[in-house]
Structure 1
Amino acid sequence: MARHFSRDLTIRQLRALAAVQQAGSVTSAAGRLHLTQPAVTLQIRNLQELAGLPLIQRTGDGMVLTDAGRSVLALTERVEAALLDCEQTLDMIAGRSGGRVSIGAVSTAKYFVPFAIAAFSRRFPKIDVSLRIGNREDIREALRGYDLDIAIMGRPPEDLQVEMRLLGKHPHVIIAASDHPLAARRKPVALAELAGEVFITREVGSGTRMLMQGFFQKNDLQPTIGMEMDSNETIKQAVIAGLGIAFISQHTVSHELADRRLVALKVPGLPLIRQWHAIRRADKVLLPPAEAMLDFLGKEGARYLPG
């Protein structure tokens, strides 16, 4: 095969050869390609010059490929398959037929984010959504490192320029077991009474822990910390077991409050309301699937928050 064959080869030449093989004549091939007969003849001639060998021969049954022509035809089929694969991949990335979205959510958001993703997936079944759950610092670091398309959290990292879509209110309460002495109170629990209670808390650095500390500092109280846990589920079970009370996201205990395994204490200043946001880095280019998810969360995310 002649030098520079692959460098100077064009897809038009390959398609002209394939059309001649399928049609049996240059005239019919020209009709298939919507070209003139001289144009197809020129493409075949240039291709043969690049190959350095005859690729077609005229017979009583029409134009047929030589051994060299069949070898080039096999190349044509592989090129067309690669082009089709590339086209389908680009369609998926662009969201025309699918794609991927990477979402990170702080652990407190795991009580509603999967339901929002499920609703999005029903609407866009060909888009794959990956969900990463972590503590506040894990998700902030992932957002800093461009690992995520979207982060679900309360406040973004202060050192990043971001775009935020409001999802809805995020209330925080103090919970106790249903048989706790304060749980039966009809009147509000005085803040001073909480100083004598043992609090089960999230780990240092978590958003909930920081919010709790801010609440007590504002009210000049120093809570007694009994245990630190990195899981809301463990905190709930510890409170139900009577090991203490807890400042916690109301969204994490909606079921337990509904069936009275836990009680939200009536405390002045509570529930403390924060906001849920869907956050993206302002300098990260989002492909259409991620843009669709961000729009979906901004418009419909609130309906999946726990009641």
Structure 2
Amino acid sequence: MLISKLQDVTIRQLRALGAVAATGSVTGAANRLHLTQPAVTLQLRSLQNLAGLPLLQRTSDGMILTGAGQEVLGLLERIEAAVANCTTSLDMIAGHTGGRVAIGAVSTAKYFVPFVIAGFSKLYPQVEITLKIGNRQELREALRGYELDIAIMGRTPAEIQVETHLIGDNPHIIIAPKGHWLEQDFGLAIADLSHEIFLTREQGSGTRLLMEQLFEANKFQPIIGMEMSSNETIKQAVTAGLGIAFISAHTVATEIEDGRLVMLDIAGLPVIRQWFVVRRYDKTLLPPAQAMLDFFAAEGAKYLPKAPQKRL
């Protein structure tokens, strides 16, 4: 019993069959493919051995395909179409007009990163973009595993060699609900918050780490209430009067402007950190990903929310 082994087929063998089908002879196929007749014959013999069935039939009008040959010719047509599609895709990628880009962003950055992506997409509408939102620890793992082309974060991972580009400032403030008893006070010290309940981000969050560094520098032991993995949840909890929070000003710009939250006037605040776009040094970026990196570095600052200002 003959068993097909077409998994070992080569495109040269398939093209030899296609050329014979088009010209009706080995001679015609050889001329079409710019090969010698023995070379075409060898390709056809090898292909037929792999198929395990006769692929060609000699007739008075020349060589024609058998039913099995027609099936194999269909395989060639599908492969040639796939090659053409891949070629087109590569041309698009080389011209920055197509391809895929994988972006990661810490959750605090989701208040401006989608707007940067929208600006980029207007220039390159055919580039497919995926966005992963996570905390700093999750993005660090994604970078380590080569899952991301670029990442937007406020503190770059020391254990991974990355190329870093500054986007802009990322101010951090302490917020309270509207009508809080300290709302009208000026120049408060961190120690004045000793009776307040702090709502915090989870361990592994860059905001949580920055808050702990601030309190440690001021030798302050806060009362920690609920721990939350979402800035949105923290904002809602502060609005509801469950406590106050240390948070990026970019995440609460709208709520402060609308009067739902207030920024407490604390000496030494805001704590200014920066937003960066990073990539692994050893991660090869295709042209669309490189274009996205360049766009974030050059234009990203324009999309940062307007940070609330201290009262004069």
- TM-score by shorter chain over 0.5: yes
- Is the 8 Å Cα contact of residues 91 and 98 (structure 1) preserved in structure 2? no
> Which of 81, 88, 92 matches 2:78?
81
Instruction: Give 1:163's aligned residue.
Output: 163
Preserved contact between residue 93 and residue 100 of structure 1 (Cα < 8 Å): no
8 Å CA contact 2:101, 2:289 repeated in 1: yes
1:292 alignment partner in structure 2: 291
Q: How does 1:84-233 map to 2 (within 5 A)?
A: 84-89=81-86, 92=89, 95-96=93-94, 98-185=98-185, 187-233=186-232
The residue aligned with 2:309 is none
- Shift in CA distance, 227/56, structure 1 to aligned 2, threshold 3 Å: closer
CA contact (8 A) 2:165 2:277 kept: yes
- Distance (whole Å) between structure 1 residues aligned to residue 125 and residue 150 of structure 2: 19
Structure 2 SS opposite 1:131: strand
Q: Write the distance in 2 (CA, Å) between the matches of 1:48 and 1:34.
A: 13
1:241 aligned partner: 240
1:164-184 alpha-carbon deviations (Å, 9 max, x no partner):
122211110111122112222
1:93, 1:287 within 8 Å by CA — same for their partners in 2? no
Displacement of 1:249: 0.4
1:166–1:276 Cα contact (<8 Å) kept: yes
Give CA-to-partner distance per residue, 1:121-159, whole Å, 9 cap, x none.
333333322222122212212222222222211112221
Alpha carbons of 1:71 and 1:40: their partners in 2 closer, same or farther (altered >3 Å)?
farther
Q: Distance in 1 between matches of 2:14 and 2:191?
A: 84
Task: State the Cα deviation string for residues 278-303 of structure 1 (Å, max 9, x = none).
Answer: 12222222333322322222222222
Cα separation, 2, equivalents of 1:172 and 1:201: 13
Q: Check 1:88–1:170 CA distance in 2 against 1; reply closer, same or farther (3 A cut).
A: same
Aligned equivalents of 1:100 and 1:265: distance in 2? 43
Partner of 1:278: 277
What is the alpha-carbon distance in structure 1 between the residues aligned to residue 305 and residue 29 of structure 2?
A: 64
1:262-282 deviations in Å (ceiling 9; x for gaps): 111222221111111112222
- The CA RMSD over aligned residues, in Å, is 3.4
Q: Distance in 1 between matches of 2:242 and 2:8?
A: 77
Change (3 A) 1:55 1:109: same
Q: Distance in 2 between matches of 1:204 and 1:47?
A: 63
**Taking structure 1 as reference, are residues 109 and 90 closer, same or farther at Cα in structure 2, changes over 3 Å only?**
farther
User: For residues 213-253 of structure 1, what are the alpha-carbon distances to aligned partners after superposition, in whole Å with 9 as ceiling and x for unaligned?
Assistant: 22222233333323322221121112112222211100110
Q: Residues 25-71 of structure 1, C-alpha deviation per residue, up to 9 Å, x if partnerless?
A: 7898788x485xxx575555445555597946464xx545153xx64
TM-score, normalised via structure 1 length: 0.80
